[in-house]
Amino acid sequence: MKIDANNIEHFYDKAYDWIIDKGPSVILGIVLLILGLWLIKLLGKWMQGGMHRKDINPSLRPFLTSLILITLRVLLVITVMQIIGIQLTFLTVLIGGIGVAAGLVLSGTLQNFASGVLILLLKPFVVGDNIIAQSQEGTVTSIQIFYTIVKTFDNRTVVIPNGKLSNEVIINISREGSRRLDIEMKFSYGIDYEQIVTVFNKTVDEFKDCLKTPERRIGVSALEDSGFKVSLNVWVKAHGFTDTKLSFLEVLMKNLKLGGIKLPGMPE
């Protein structure tokens, strides 16, 4: 096969012209790409240290770092392509179309991601808190970027999307450290009210899990045809509230019996 010398010469001329015309831009783009990637890597290390010093939630650090670094790398590549002279019209349209499609498909996921970031930053609850959310009551065992795991008091694991937690009411029942235990009991009119108050106070004083402050409150809450109701409000620790309530009611019932106070339904 005979090679045309004119074609070879034409090819070399074109290559020479391209090198003279585009070579400096290509070299500049490569240098900028290498330098930019190096600076972005340094920025990532600096961000990790800064977030550690500012005590940002450990679960959030890698996600924020990755998000920022990936964005910077994409911008760097686009800038280098423009310097080299690569036309981005078609690429831009393609990326835009993919972005719109992904946004529509992943709208719920992105909402959960944004909500997870807000939860980790604003801290309406933290791991170990007892909360009521989505008709579920339990202890927060893990806060992930897309969902939160709650372990209920009857040992069920509930996975709640963060979007639900950021848009609806959350009751944090342990954040303040204490809760009020409310007890209401009914007695016949033949029982002396002061005797009931004495037993209530004795039980609160002896029960080790009752807090001294805020002050307890005892009073008549209702008057009915068949008897009167007495309410007791006493403060206890938030964690272990249900166990404390059960134990307190058991001790109170024993003390009422020892004090000779009959409860409705008790045999004569």
pLDDT digits (tens, 9 = 90+) for 169-184: 999 999 999 999 999 9
End-to-end CA distance of the chain: 122
Is the distance from CB of 116 to CB of 122 less than 8 angstroms? no
Which H helix or E strand runs over 137?
A: strand 136-143
Q: Which one has a higher pLDDT value, 154 or 93?
A: 154
Q: Which one has a higher pLDDT value, 93 or 127?
A: 127
Residues 68, 44: Cα–Cα separation, whole Å: 9
Which residue, 216, 207, 219, 215, is CA-closest to 248?
207
Report the range of poorest mean pLDDT among 68-72, 163-167, 220-224, 239-243. Answer: 68-72
Residues 124, 138: Cα–Cα separation, whole Å: 15
pLDDT of 53 above 60: yes
**Cβ neighbours of residue 152 closer than 8 Å, sequence gap 6 or more:** 136, 137, 138, 158
pLDDT digits (tens, 9 = 90+) for 132-165: 999 999 999 988 878 899 999 999 999 999 989 9
Phi and psi of 124, rounded to 5°? -65, -20
